[in-house]
Structures are given as structure tokens and as C-alpha cells.
Amino acid sequence: MVKHILFDLDHTLFDFNRNSFIALRMLYMKFGLKKHFHSLDSFLSTYKTHNILLWQLFAKNEVDKEGVSVGRFYRSLCDVGVDNYALARQMADFYLRTTSEQKRLMPYALATLRYLYRRPYKISIITNGFVEAQYRKINNCGLSHFMTGVFISEEIGAKKPTPEFFDAVFKSLDTNASECVVVGDSMESDIQGAVSLGIRAILYNPDNNPIDADVEQITSLRDLQMLF
């Protein structure tokens, strides 16, 4: 019997792409980056390349938190001949703060949380994001009211979706795999790890991208109201 629904935060409840774009556009203007990049699009493309690579390395424990948060900006600056780590750190602080101040959620996120909360299911967030940013997002977007727990890999000391991460979640919630469902947008970070541990997992795939795996999928968070 399902008692707990464990949601990923970024790209699942929190509209990370839109909120991040707004923060990066503000950053581009605030730090006068048009002096170094041909355009906003040029900066965004450079940043995205480094950001993706560094998050992949972070998942494998090959870089630390600062290596991602500051490194993606430092490497972007170095690509245009600006070797300034102090500036990259300022940009990183501004970006994390500004992104977490944005309040855009994925479509039907609040309506679905209200529905599940009233059923009642116990709702928690599971995330690999940075602690200081994730709590601000949850509070600023009005999500904290619905949450039984918030589980962040940085605090647990193990990354989602490792068994150690989920063991900590189960212990805190006094539950087990058979009573939980994971909802997230990432096959690697959310779905595959959960399934390997015997947890029902639902892939949130709003763009209906082709998936080379037999997994339960939804294209709208509203679909959860028909499943629970």
C-alpha cells in the first residue's frame, strides 16, 4: 500500500529551466558579460556545456560542490580569456540566490500536491541540489506546507539514487520500499535507482521524449491525480 510519494524537486516540481534562464539573464546584465561574450545566447551555450559536464563529474564524486557551483562560471570566463576566480565566485553566489528566489513551478504542481495532500498521502522531496538553494526554493514557492520530509543528498552524505540515500529516507519516514513511490524527471537520478531497490517509480516526461526503457511515465503532473 502506497503511503509516501517522493518527488524530485528541480525539473519535476520547480520549473528549473525557466527560473534558471531568468537568473542567468540577470547575471549576464549585472556582471557586464556582454564585454566578453558575443551575445546572451553565446554565454548561455558556453555555461550549459560546462554545467552539464561538471554535474556529471559531481555525480561520480570527481568534483566537489564548489567545483560545480563556481567551476561552471570560472570555466565559462576562461573560455573568453577572463581568468578571474573571484569574479566566478561572485557570479555563482548571485546565480544560486537569484534562481532560488524565482517562484515558477511546473504546470499543475500545486494542484497535484493539494490533491495528494488531501487524500492523504505523505509527500516528501528527494534532491541532489545544493542545500542553501533547495530550501529557499521550497519555501519561496509555497511547497513546505505539503512536505513531510525534505531529503537533500548534501545533508544525508549520500547522493540520490544510491541505496544509502534511500535507506536514510526510509529510516527517517519509518517506511520501506513497498510503501513509497518516486516521481522524477531523470532516468539516472530518479527512476533507475528507485526501481533497482524495488521502489515504484514514475518518470515525469513532459516533452514525451522517447525512452529506451519500459518504465511507468506521465506527461503531466495532473496525471498523478488519476493514479492515486
Domains in the chain: ranges and CATH: 4-15+103-227 (3.40.50.1000), 16-101 (1.10.150.240)
Question: With 90 as the cut, is the pLDDT of residue 83 above it?
Answer: yes
Band of the pLDDT at 168, cuts 50, 70, 90?
very high
Residue type, 56: Q
Average pLDDT over residues 62-75: 97
Cα-to-chain-centroid distance, residue 139: 15
pLDDT surpasses 90 at 212: no
Nearest to 51 by CA among 87, 29, 79: 79
Residues of the chain by 3-state class (helix, strand, coil), percent to 5 = 55, 15, 30
Q: Would you place residue 59 in the very low, low, confident or very high pLDDT band (cuts 50, 70, 90)?
A: confident
* Average confidence score pLDDT of the chain: 96
Model pTM score: 0.94
Rounded-to-integer distance, Cα 104 and Cα 101, Å: 10
Q: What is the mean pLDDT of residues 99-122?
A: 96
Per-residue pLDDT at 75 exceeds 90: yes
- pLDDT(183) > 90: yes
Burial environment of residue 15 by CB neighbours within 10 A (0 to 12, 13 to 18, 19 or more):
buried
User: In this prediction, what percent of the chain has a pLDDT beyond 70?
Assistant: 100
Burial of 14 (0-12, 13-18, 19+ CB in 10 A): buried
In this structure, what C-alpha cell is assigned to residue 21?
A: 534562464
Mean pLDDT, to the nearest integer, of 104-114? 98
Q: Quick count: other Cβ atoms within 10 Å of Cβ 131?
A: 14
If pLDDT is split at 50, 70 and 90, which confidence band does 63 have? very high
* 201 strand-pairing partners: 182
pLDDT tens digits for range 15-35: 999 999 999 999 999 999 999
Residue 227's CB is within 10 A of a number of other CB atoms, namely 11
Q: What is the mean pLDDT of residues 87-110?
A: 97
Region 125-143 average pLDDT? 95
pLDDT at 120: 86
Cβ atoms of residues 101 and 140 within 8 Å: yes
